[in-house]
């Protein structure tokens, strides 16, 4: 275990994709960065392990082309809904590549942490950040408790909160999730499958049990390329029937109805675990006098599709830019630019996404949308662009129609 340094320019709490990539970027610019991570790499993280072209782009921007090339590539999404199936390739886009990937989080997160270490960041593993050393609202340091060693404090000019969903560290500084915003609940597990090298990630937008009864939530099967598939189910707090749903039972029901070609044994799942997804920019404040939140700690998961890795990496990139500036000027007020830039980039899109998930929370609306949409490859290709946030810079038909329609419908409903 690395000794705990006594100070740093920036202390990052949490070494997931958000924290490790902030560290990689700041360290590459010559900053002294310490990452406090409570687990030891490689460590498991409950996730679907799916990387859309948006995530792939963010990883390429971090200089991780070699690593990405080792992971199982996927060319798009196979969508099941309304009794139909469509294979939708990732769209052509001037910015995002036409490929996604699937990789376990043990491997992905360790790869990003390795990149940060090579750039000069210090990782203190098996060490928990237990609180902030506060004076006049400013965080002077992060109190840490290494496993098997006494507690100590790492002094910091700036602190990045990157400890993931339901961030305890963030809450200790007054961060809170707006409970009116949608919250996701999801469970996943690993199953052996001969089709682990499928070209598509697969999503079941409406699911039924073995007796044909409709179930709340959606399901997925993501091929890992290593002899296994990641199977999971998700549920949103906006779904009319979500209260009282036992997600483990839902997961069990789904594993019994996944298409036969996956050839999974529904009773032989491993590492079946669940987690909560804070979405739609639901956590505030995002910035304090000398700290900011990135990734899940800031609730930036995309409500349209539950994707969080791309947004963890993107918020980290923005945060690193602003922190670099703040360090040069020695002035924390620059951090407010981060909050403004997040709004500029995501607020309108996330408002539409939140409205969309409220709308489809009504099972009849969901069924109707699935039945209409799934009749047309063109419409569903546009829906994929919208939901994966791969819209072209100048909205084109038919994606424009789909997105504008959603914006208008959503504007009728109440905020948020």
- List interacting residues with ligand FAD (CB under 6 A): 13-19, 36-39, 45-50, 55, 128-129, 162-165, 168-169, 186, 188, 232, 275, 277, 295-297, 301, 306-310, 312
CB of 65 to ligand FAD, least distance (A): 19
* Residue nearest ligand FAD (C-beta atom): 308
Closer to ligand FAD by CB, 82 or 117: give it. 117
CB of 83 to ligand FAD, least distance (A): 25
CB of 274 to ligand FAD, least distance (A): 6
CB of 105 to ligand FAD, least distance (A): 7
Closer to ligand FAD by CB, 232 or 288: give it. 232
Closer to ligand FAD by CB, 13 or 357: give it. 13
CB of 404 to ligand FAD, least distance (A): 26
CB of 39 to ligand FAD, least distance (A): 5
CB of 164 to ligand FAD, least distance (A): 3
Closer to ligand FAD by CB, 9 or 314: give it. 314
Q: What is the 3-state secondary structure (H, E, C) of the chain?
A: CCCCCCEEEEEEECCCHHHHHHHHHHHHCCCCEEEECCCCCCCCCCCCCEECHHHHHHHHHCCCHHHHHHCEEECEEEEEECCEEEEEECCCCCCCCCCEEECCHHHHHHHHHHHHHHHCCEEECCEEEEEEEEECCEEEEEEEEECCCCCEEEEEEEEEECCCCCCHHHHHCCCEECCCCCEEEEEEEEEECCCCCCCEEEEECCEECCCCCEECCEEEEEECCCCEEEEEEEEECCCCCCCCCCHHHHHHHHHCCCCHHHCCCCCCCEEEEEEEEEECCCEECCECCCEEECHHHHCCEECCCCECHHHHHHHHHHHHHHHHHHHHHCCHHHHHHHHHHHHHHHHHHHHHHHHHHHHCCCHHHHHHHHHHHCCCHHHHHHHHHHHCCCCCCCCCCCHHHHHHHHHHHHHHCCCC
Burial class of residue 365 in the structure, from the number of CB atoms within 10 Å of its CB (0-12 exposed, 13-18 middle, 19+ buried): middle
CB of 130 to ligand FAD, least distance (A): 7
| Cα dihedral 48, 54, 59, 61 in deg (nearest 10) | -170
Closer to ligand FAD by CB, 247 or 290: give it. 247
Closer to ligand FAD by CB, 82 or 299: give it. 299
Closer to ligand FAD by CB, 169 or 190: give it. 169
Closer to ligand FAD by CB, 82 or 191: give it. 191
CB of 116 to ligand FAD, least distance (A): 12
Closer to ligand FAD by CB, 32 or 296: give it. 296
């Amino acid at each position: 275990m690395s000794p705990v340094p006594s100070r740093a320019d920036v202390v990052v709490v949490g070494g997931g994709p958000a924290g490790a990539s902030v560290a990689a970027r700041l360290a590459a610019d010559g900053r002294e960065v310490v990452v406090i991570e409570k687990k030891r790499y490689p460590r498991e993280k409950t996730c679907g392990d799916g990387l859309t072209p948006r995530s792939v782009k963010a990883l390429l921007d971090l200089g991780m082309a070699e690593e990405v090339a080792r992971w199982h590539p996927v060319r798009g999404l196979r969508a099941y809904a309304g009794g139909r199936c469509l294979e939708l390739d990732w769209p052509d886009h001037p910015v995002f590549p036409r490929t996604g990937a699937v990789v376990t989080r043990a491997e992905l997160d360790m790869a990003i942490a390795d990149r940060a270490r090579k750039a000069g960041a210090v990782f203190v593993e098996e060490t928990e950040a237990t609180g902030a050393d506060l004076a006049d609202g400013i965080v002077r340091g992060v109190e840490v408790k290494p496993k098997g060693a006494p507690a100590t404090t790492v002094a910091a000019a700036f602190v990045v909160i990157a400890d993931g969903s339901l961030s305890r560290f963030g809450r200790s500084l007054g961060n809170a999730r707006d409970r009116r915003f949608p919250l996701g609940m999801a469970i996943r597990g690993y199953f052996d499958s001969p089709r682990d090298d499928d070209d598509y990630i697969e999503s079941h937008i409406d699911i039924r049990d073995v007796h044909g009864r409709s179930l709340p939530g959606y399901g997925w099967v993501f091929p890992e390329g290593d002899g296994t598939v990641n199977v999971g189910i998700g549920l949103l707090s906006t779904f009319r029937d979500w209260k009282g749903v036992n997600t483990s039972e839902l997961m069990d029901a789904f594993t019994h109805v996944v298409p036969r070609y996956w050839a999974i044994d529904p009773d032989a799942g491993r590492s079946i675990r669940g987690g909560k997804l804070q979405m739609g920019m639901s956590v505030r404040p995002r910035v304090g006098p000398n700290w900011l939140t990135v990734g899940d700690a800031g609730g930036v998961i995309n409500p349209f599709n539950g994707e969080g890795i791309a947004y963890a990496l993107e918020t980290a990139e923005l945060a690193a830019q602003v922190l670099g500036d703040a360090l040069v000027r020695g002035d924390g007020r620059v951090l407010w630019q981060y909050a403004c830039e997040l709004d500029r980039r995501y607020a309108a899109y996330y408002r539409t996404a939140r409205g969309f998930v409220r709308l489809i929370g009504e099972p009849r609306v969901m069924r109707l949308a699935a039945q209409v949409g799934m009749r047309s490859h063109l419409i569903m290709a546009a829906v994929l662009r919208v939901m994966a946030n791969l819209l072209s810079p100048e909205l084109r038909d038919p994606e424009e129609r789909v997105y504008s329609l959603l914006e208008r419908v959503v504007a009728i409903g109440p905020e948020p």
